[in-house]
Amino acid sequence: GAGVSQSPSNKVTEKGKDVELRCDPISGHTALYWYRQSLGQGLEFLIYFQGNSAPDKSGLPSDRFSAERTGGSVSTLTIQRTQQEDSAVYLCASSYRQGGSYGYTFGSGTRLTVV
Amino acid sequence: SQKIEQNSEALNIQEGKTATLTCNYTNYSPAYLQWYRQDPGRGPVFLLLIRENEKEKRKERLKVTFDTTLKQSLFHITASQPADSATYLCALLMDTGRRALTFGSGTRLQVQP
């Protein structure tokens, strides 16, 4: 597609439920990133995929968070046993080169609300 | 520790004036620095990249400077317009080995007509 697509755009879930967030990067972009942004806050790095290399998971806040990228394209971020502090906008980005020296292209995000 | 700092207070200016936003970083030497624009409810949009060996970069009404001695980047919008109102984020690769950008918290710009 022309841009990075994320779904759903909004998700309301009950505390303790699992959620899956999806990201469709730009075709041909080898690098894919997940960030989250809490209200009025900056972007917090979560995880980074580059080609077939092992992902950099150093930003995941707990073992309730996991992500995978199938076939070097679509990525899914899974949050298990959601907590209220997980409420945030989850942003996915892709880039042509590792390290983003050509800039990242972001999706519009998934707004997650845990009630 | 390594930090990126942007003025958290909103910048309010009159239409037609030049807006100047600041990004300061500490304790490392990035190979390049990027600026993004973020509108409410949207993801950030890449604007400009400036490398450590470049003092200045221009794109239309935008100008970015990069002073590696002061560890500072300035982002200028000349002849500002109300449509320039948004939050502007700077981003760098930190020398932690992580190959993903670290973003500043952004500065909100409001251009009054």
What pLDDT is attached to residue A89?
97
Rg (chain B; Cα; Å): 14
Q: Using a CB-CB distance cutoff of 8 angstroms, which residues of chain B are in contact with residue A7? A: none
Q: Where are the beta strands (DSSP E) in chain B?
A: 3-6, 11-14, 19-26, 32-38, 45-51, 56-59, 62-67, 72-77, 86-92, 102-103, 107-112
- Whether residue A109 and residue B43 make contact (CB cut-off 8 A), yes or no, is yes
pLDDT of residue B95 exceeding 90: no
Residue B80, min C-alpha distance to chain A (Å): 24
pLDDT of residue B27 exceeding 80: no
Closest alpha carbon within chain B to A93: B43
Over pLDDT 70: what percentage of chain B? 99
What pLDDT is attached to residue B32?
87
The residue-averaged pLDDT of B16-26 equals 96
Give the DSSP per-residue string, chain A.
--S-EEE-SEEEE-TT--EEEEEE--TT--EEEEEEE-TT--EEEEEEEETTSPPB-TT--STTEEEEEGGGS-EEEEE-S--GGG-EEEEEEEESSGGGTT--EE---EEEEE-
Strands A19-24 and A5-7 come out as antiparallel
A32-83 per-position pLDDT tens digit: 999 999 987 889 999 999 988 899 999 999 999 999 998 879 999 999 999 9
What pLDDT is attached to residue B1?
65
pLDDT of residue A16 exceeding 90: yes
| Chain B residues in contact with chain A using a Cβ-Cβ cutoff of 8 Å | 32, 34, 36, 41-46, 49, 89, 93, 98-106
pLDDT of residue A1 exceeding 70: no
Residue A18, min C-alpha distance to chain B (Å): 24
Closest alpha carbon within chain A to B5: A42
* Nearest by CB: A45 against B45, B100, B106: B100
Average pLDDT of every residue of chain A:
93
Q: What number of C-beta contacts closer than 8 Å exist between A and B?
A: 59
* Nearest by CB: B98 against A35, A58, A104: A58
The residue-averaged pLDDT of A78-93 equals 97
Over pLDDT 90: what percentage of chain A? 78
* Nearest by CB: B93 against A41, A59, A99: A99
Cα distance between residue B25 and residue B29, in whole Å: 9
